[in-house]
Amino acid sequence: MVYTMRDVARRAGVSPATVSRVLNNTHYISDETKARVLKIVDELNYYKNVHARRLATGKSDLFGLVISDIANPFFPEVIRGFQLAAWDRGFDALLLNTEYSHQRTIAVVRKLVESDVRGVAIMTSSIDSTATRELTNAGIGIVFSNLCSAEKLISNIKVDYSKGIAQAIEHVALLGHRRCAVIAGPEGNRTATTITQALVTGLTRRGMKPSPVTNSNYRVDAGASAVRDILVAPEIPTVIFCGSDLIAMGAMSALEEAGVRVPDDISVVGIDNISFATLARPPLTTINVPREELGVTAFHALEKILQLKRHGGTEYTLETELVVRKSTAAARRTKLRITK
């Protein structure tokens, strides 16, 4: 038998509105009432009718979250933070990924509009503001990461890499490193460009102008081909700064294959502090990006847009910080000989 919200309310001795508030966690309800309602919900195996709610309120329960690659270990904590924040407020999250494809991006935007989402968190650099005008034209709020200034229906979360990068540069300088290289993220990627510029500027200012500066993708094989270029450079660096932890771990694997010891011969620094960073051998020194906080902030930013009368956007900032592990050590004093 299919039960309705009225059935739940009658058995719990409360109004249908109270049942709705308990299920959607939208108003304060006493613990006793909440427990009684949830007990009946469990007994009747009752499920919310989201279609009925949409007809009644004219709004969906959905918020969208767009990422670039579900296989990239940067994103699970972002997803977790966003989903937990949404569920805590009685909403659901629709997760979509672009796979770095322009055609897929168009399809993703269309799907979001068709799904009548209340707002969308776009946590990937593979979408720009022009590609999402269809969303704002439909009155859907958006929060970006490291993209643009806030405006009507648009907020932006800036991940400030400067503090973490400055700490990383100071860390290796104190270890005696003077020759360094940078393996940046993909060319044309906004976040990768921001990180590269901060690294090159900071290292140059510290008297360690990086050479070479190469690019890599964010896939599992990231960093390997870039390492081969570094190892044939006239002066092999004593430390390599990488644009992500995936790149750093790919680089460490390639260094090991070439017979180069990390950190004895070459130190390696990553960015992101993904969960796998502690499992690398040696554990990776990296710059922590608070990814779960990024997801939570993204959801709250969307809620704030919807609550404001004129739907104005807001600027948010998240700080980064260096996490020192075992992939960095004192700079070698002798010339490196490649045996493989």
The rounded Cα 267 to chain-centroid distance in angstroms is 26
- Angle 224-231/245-257 helices, nearest 10 degrees? 50
CB atoms within 10 A of CB 300: 17
Residue 267 · residue 328 · CB < 8 Å: yes
HSE (side-chain half, CA atoms, 13 Å) at 179: 17
Provide mean pLDDT across the span 98-106: 87
pLDDT for the residue numbered 88: 87
Residue 302 · residue 338 · CB < 8 Å: no
pLDDT for the residue numbered 245: 95
Residue 91 · residue 62 · CB < 8 Å: yes
d(CA 157, CA 159): 6
Please, where are the H alpha helices in 45-101? 50-57, 76-88
- Angle 16-24/31-44 helices, nearest 10 degrees? 90
Name the band, by pLDDT with cuts 50, 70 and 90, for residue 56.
Answer: very low
Name the band, by pLDDT with cuts 50, 70 and 90, for residue 286.
Answer: very high
pTM of the model: 0.83
d(CA 198, CA 201): 5
pLDDT for the residue numbered 28: 72
The string of pLDDT tens digits covering residues 199-247 is 999 999 999 999 999 999 887 677 888 898 899 888 899 999 999 999 9
Which residue, chain included where needed, has tokens 């937990």? 84
Average pLDDT, the chain: 89
Distances in Å between the alpha carbon of 288 and those of 56, 205, 269?
44, 23, 11
pLDDT, greater one: 91 or 81: 81
d(CA 24, CA 44): 18
d(CA 117, CA 303): 12
Residue type, 314: T
pLDDT for the residue numbered 18: 86
pLDDT, greater one: 218 or 25: 218
**Helix, coil or strand: residue 214:** strand
pLDDT, greater one: 60 or 101: 101
